Amino acid sequence: MKLVYLTIVCVWFIGTIVSSAASSSPPAAAFLSANHYAKTCPDAEGIIHRYMRAWLTKDPSLAPAIIRLHFHDCAVRGCDASILLNQRGSERRAYASQTLRGFRVIDTIKTELERRCPKKVSCADILTAAARDATVMAGGPFWEVPFGRRDGRVSLAKEADMVPQGHENVTALINFFQALGLNVLDLVSLSGSHTIGKSSCLSFNKRLAFFNGTKKPDPSLNVTYLSVLKSKCKSSQFNLVDLDVTTPTKFDTVYYTNLMNKKGLLSTDQLLFSDPRTSPFVSTLANQKELFDSQFAASMVKLGNVHVKTRPSEGEIRVNCNFVNA
């Protein structure tokens, strides 16, 4: 009887240890490292940087495009380059992804990295570093990017259509960000990327008339700004409008000042100032550029670590970012 009892106790004790070890295993992001390519592709960051510099010199509008592409990647299945897969039914083919740009930029960088370091650098890492370089080259802050992400093998259009499109309420935005492991401050600081870039009239046209079922425009829009937007969108709903009406090419905090002056382009932007959960952050960041830069960098690091795949069984190093390996 004693032997049976001792056996049961031992089994319970061992099971407890195993269970405890499993629950305390480090998150996937813990396996990322700034030195990940130190031996396998030491010039990886340099190559990404040089190609980004060349592309942005030719077309500065690619800076916000790459940052947005990175967000759309991380927002679905984590930062695994699933947005880059170009196949039927993929995120890239989704309706919500039709205005995404920058795919050729990533392709050219990947081609050079495959020439220099075959099958070593993931598309997910390339896109993450490219977003950082795009920010810096647009006048934003620098942050160290940890590497070691693997590329995902699954990409579904229906999941991409769940990414915020500019008309959600703040509660929906907060819930979406929390599901990614990001908080309210991350939501407000990452929205600050709208200090550069453009959006189509299609994204905000309901604010100009027939707002929320009425026959009137959104009352939270500055009257003068409303007239400007109506003029810009008169000829086509596909016309592009600066997200920051005041300093559209500067990576600064004027985006937040615009919200305080009722000049937020997207409904999701303007609501950040009217909602008590987010407005204090808007007011604070509007007047403190250094604080915005440091917080934006911190939030971008968190974004880049969302649901990353670091184990061989979880993903691969794609040879071509457009397709899973054969």
Q: Which of 36, 49, 72, 194 is catalytic?
A: 72
- CA quadruple 121, 124, 127, 128: dihedral, nearest 10: -100
Provide the token pair at 179.
């599901």
Q: Token match 């990175």: residue?
A: 70
Catalytic residue flag (residue 72): yes
DSSP 101-148: --HHHHHHHHHHHHHHSTTTS-HHHHHHHHHHHHHHHTT----PPPB-
CB 200 within 8 A of CB 255: no
The residue whose two tokens read 């480090």 is 26
Contact assessment for residue 148 and residue 36, using Cβ atoms and an 8 Å cutoff: yes
Amino acid (one-letter) located at 229: L
Residues classed as catalytic: 72
